[in-house]
Structure 1
Amino acid sequence: MWSALDLLSDPELCAGMSIVDISGDGLETLGSKRHHVVSLYYARKRAEQMGVTVNALVISDDGGDLARYYSKKVTIGSNSFVMNIKK
């Protein structure tokens, strides 16, 4: 998400809409192997400050808990959405 926000904030690029579409099949993973990675919290906060809508495509095999997580922790914006795709 952070890389997409960098692109949207580049003054040389002219984005018609400020939307980032994310897909994933799990929760945020933070560990010692991931250096120089911005947390989801800060990326989402930056998206909010920039007025960027973040949507999510969730690939899951559960009863919807992952979609609920993405709805609360990932998506942002008045027209944002989560689409849950079952494996």
Structure 2
Amino acid sequence: MQSTGLAPHFIAAITPMDCGHWKPAPEIFLAALNIIKVKAENCLMIGDDPIRDVQPARALNMATLLINHQTSQTAFLDVLASLNLSIELVRD
């Protein structure tokens, strides 16, 4: 998250140690949804692995964005801006 410049926009991170499940198990994604109290269809999952990130998130009906690490931070943020998303920061 640090290399993309997105870290300040996150309120939580979940690891397998937090929930007892490793990706691509859907439980790790469900645990994250539970923490932020948001439905899967209202989330954008950003990941860099098509098997461990994108497939399970799509199976839960999340929108997905696959990261290419060869792309610069500026280009990545430009892609996010071009998606014309309505981003709402969720806090407790």
| TM-score, length-scaled by structure 1 | 0.31
Higher strand fraction: Structure 1 or Structure 2? 1
